[in-house]
Amino acid sequence: MPELVYPPVIAAMRAAFRVLDLQITLSGTQHVPERGGAVLASNHVSYLDFVFCGLAARASKRLVRFMAKEEIFAHRVGGPLMRGMRHIPVDRSAGMASYKAALEALKRGEVVGVFPEATISTSFTVKEFKTGSVRMAAACGVPLVPMAVWGSQRLWTKDRKRSLGKRHVPVTILVGEPLHPTRRDDHTQILAELQARITALLNKAQRDYPDEPSGPDDRWWLPAHLGGTAPEPPEVATTPQP
């Protein structure tokens, strides 16, 4: 089936990035396979993360089908675009249907994008992960690729006014070496390793980030442990949620 929507959307977004002169840094893109199914798993700090995470697959000439909450598909503008790009709606009251749709996409050789935290982390740290990304990769025998994005929260994030016209914002996207879970593996252990790898990538992105807050009122986009004013992360439970 021809891709009639995704390529024009990518072109429009890249043009917008050029106009805003966003300083986008990509690293590790060779870890996204050039063919066959794969699960890309990233941290989640912004409503725009799916856009930036999708850029990581361009070097491999892949289009990523992201799992996103169903409400986006009901939007009068966003909905047709999301369906046209063949992203996967997630109904949290009936999650098995979206899980099966993701499995079908992986079996067709698609790349599926997942945010294991399931929602934006307002603390800008890595929250507790749900197990879906590991279970999907194991069920289909495909690589599970860890990713981290940083800086996108400065453009549009939860509980903050949008700043989509903000110029010269650095955005870092890092891709790590894939995991290869199988059905026989301890998925709890694999999930812990995935979370550790994404946390390490995020720590590196934060450590190497080329910009600093412009003043005390601009420290909101930094996590508390780096001297920012983002909310403290909630206590993490010891048992991963499904």
Per residue of the chain (242 residues), give pLDDT as tens: 789 999 999 999 999 999 999 999 999 999 999 999 999 999 999 999 999 999 999 999 999 999 999 999 999 999 999 999 999 999 877 779 999 999 999 999 999 999 999 999 999 999 999 999 999 999 999 999 999 999 999 999 999 999 999 999 999 999 999 999 999 999 999 999 999 999 999 999 999 999 999 999 999 999 999 999 999 987 544 444 44
Indicate the pTM of the whole model: 0.94
CA distance 212 to 155: 15
Q: Is residue 7 assigned to a domain?
A: no
- Cα–Cα–Cα angle for 71, 76, 78, nearest 5°? 65
CA separation, residue 66 to residues 47, 85, 88 (Å): 13, 9, 6
The predicted structure's pLDDT at residue 93: 73
- Tokens linked to 31: 């870890």
Q: Is residue 2 assigned to a domain?
A: no
Q: Is residue 177 assigned to a domain?
A: yes
Structural domain tally of the chain? 1
Q: Is residue 109 assigned to a domain?
A: yes
Q: Is residue 3 assigned to a domain?
A: no
The predicted structure's pLDDT at residue 235: 55
3-state SS assignment for residue 155:
coil
Q: Is residue 153 assigned to a domain?
A: yes
Q: Is residue 11 assigned to a domain?
A: no
The predicted structure's pLDDT at residue 178: 98
CA distance 10 to 110: 17
CA separation, residue 2 to residues 6, 7, 50, 51, 141 (Å): 10, 10, 21, 21, 26
CA distance 218 to 64: 33
Which structural domain, as residue segments, surrounds residue 59?
A: 27-208+215-226
Q: Is residue 81 assigned to a domain?
A: yes
